[in-house]
Amino acid sequence: MQAEELREFVIDKIDDLKGRDVQILDVHDKTDVVDYMIICSGSSKTHVRSIAEHVATEAKHAGTPPIGVEGGEQSEWVLVDLGDVVVHVMQDSIRDFYQLEKLWGQ
């Protein structure tokens, strides 16, 4: 999948499990590593883990297996690396603390 297709695919999969406050950051001009960062919130550790696992599983079924998934043990912040798109699924308190939108949006 192209980066834009993958971005839309991920947004759809987050929506499947009712991920909240989805933000799409176009960072292709800030880093050579990734084109888009997608940040969303889950209401609990279980919700965060479920959203991340759903995105990773569905991407694998679509022929784009994740390069890596990190943070599933604690499930306060789970990162799914799909190459051109990196997904951050976070609990609200962790998202407020790290403020990735401000960091990468500047």
* pLDDT at residue 103 tops 90: no
* pLDDT at residue 1 tops 90: no
Q: Residue 62 and residue 44: Cα distance in Å, rounded?
A: 27
List, for residues 5-64, the tens digit of each pLDDT value: 999 999 999 999 999 999 999 999 888 899 999 999 999 999 999 999 999 999 999 999
Query: What average pLDDT does the segment 85-101 reach?
Result: 95
What local confidence, expressed as pLDDT, does residue 22 receive? 97
* pLDDT at residue 70 tops 60: yes
**C-alpha distance from residue 101 to each of 15, 21, 24, 30 (Å):** 19, 11, 9, 13
What local confidence, expressed as pLDDT, does residue 105 receive? 74
Task: Using DSSP, state whether 64 is helix, strand or coil.
Answer: coil
What local confidence, expressed as pLDDT, does residue 46 receive? 96
> Which residue shows structure tokens 């009712």?
18
* pLDDT at residue 106 tops 70: no
Q: Around Cβ 39, how many Cβ atoms within 10 Å?
A: 22
Higher-scoring residue by pLDDT: 9, 103 = 9
